[in-house]
Amino acid sequence: MTFTYQRRYCGKIQAVLLDWAGTTMDYGCMAPAVVFIEVYRRQGVPITMEEARAPMGAHKRVHIQKIGQLDTVRSRWQEKHGKLPAEADVDRMFADFVPLQLDCLSQYSAMIPGALEAVAAMRRRGMKIGSTTGYLREMMDINMRDAKRQGYEPDSTVCASDVPAGRPYPYMCLQNVINLQVSPVAACVKIDDTVPGIEEGLNAGMWTIGLALSGNEIGLPLDEMRKLEPSELERRRNRAYTRMLQAGGHYVVDSIADVMPCLDAIEERMARGERP
């Protein structure tokens, strides 16, 4: 045999998997960020908004742990407590985190402009709608209720607490594949506002689209983002595009309002036999 032959999927997109905070609701991904700041403040170790956001996308307990592994936070913790943060400290902060997050979620649960329209357009194209999130199930009960009231109801929602590990592992995406009964995996597109969320989709073998403006990368509610100096917004926007493209995102756009042309492009590429 001189030749080998490769099988390639050249059909349509079958499912789109959407992140929650910063992707479909909570412009700026504010709800978790403010609570991470509060739980560290309660330990006598103030952290900046940037430090609070650095690990965004991960399971919330892992996120708390990763903040404590940042060099700057480690040294402040050492100074305050005379030792580095340990598992018991993470447990204590996570125990603080859960009720604080549950309490304030609904303040940040407004749908992101364009999300309902994008989901409707996907559905018209026959795409199923799945979702993944670093939130725990009890938090998602609140977000899902608020989303439904605003007209958004995905066919499947998988939380970090439902699978062996959250992002960047592919398990939440793959559980959506099972829930939605989609095949092959390469017929799915993962859309997210964080780098770990893009990695999650890539690790699952999916196409990925990063959202640069509406989520964790800029990290501001829409009205505050609009107040930024145009040059400052452009600087942050460029940084977000670069980070997400360098993480391997197939496409990066400003927000979910801009994704439909990317889905067209992905379908054209699949028709030519390209793979994610």
Contacting range for Mg ion; rule: CB under 5 A; set: 81-89, 106-114, 186-194, 247-255: 186-194
Rg (CA), the chain: 19
264 tagged catalytic: no
Side chain identity at residue 272, one-letter code: R
DSSP 111: B
Give, as ranges, the residues between 229 and 258 that touch Mg ion (CB under 5 A): none
Q: 197, 191, 223: which is closest to 113 by C-alpha?
A: 223
Beta-carbon neighbour count of residue 95 at 10 Å? Answer: 11
33 binds Mg ion (CB under 5 A): no
Residue 22 lies near Mg ion (rule: CB under 5 A): yes
Q: Which amino acid makes up residue 119?
A: V
If the CB atoms of residues 60 and 76 are measured against Mg ion, the closer one turns out to be: 60
Check if the beta carbon of residue 241 is closer than 8 Å to that of residue 218. no
Catalytic option among 19, 146, 193, 258: 19
- Contact between 146 and Mg ion by CB under 5 A: the answer reads no
Which residue's CB is nearer to Mg ion, number 21 or number 270? 21
Residue type, 176: N
Q: How far is the CB of 26 from Mg ion (least distance, A)?
A: 8
Q: Distance (Å, rounded) from C-alpha 105 to C-alpha 268?
A: 39
Report which residue's Cβ sits closest to Mg ion.
22
CA-CA distance, 130 to 206, in Å (whole number)? Answer: 13
Residue 250 to residue 152: CA distance in whole angstroms: 26
How many residues line the site for Mg ion (CB under 5 A)?
Answer: 4
Establish whether 103 is a catalytic residue. no
Considering only residues 192 to 211 of the shown chain, the ones binding Mg ion according to CB under 5 A are 193
Report, in Å, the least distance between residue 59 CB and Mg ion: 13
Phi, psi of 158 (to 5 degrees): -115, 130
Q: Which is nearer to Mg ion, 193 or 267 (CB)?
A: 193
Given 13, 19, 31, 111, the residue binding Mg ion (CB under 5 A): 19
Residue ranges in contact with Mg ion by CB under 5 A: 19, 21-22, 193
What amino acid positions are annotated as catalytic residues? 19, 60
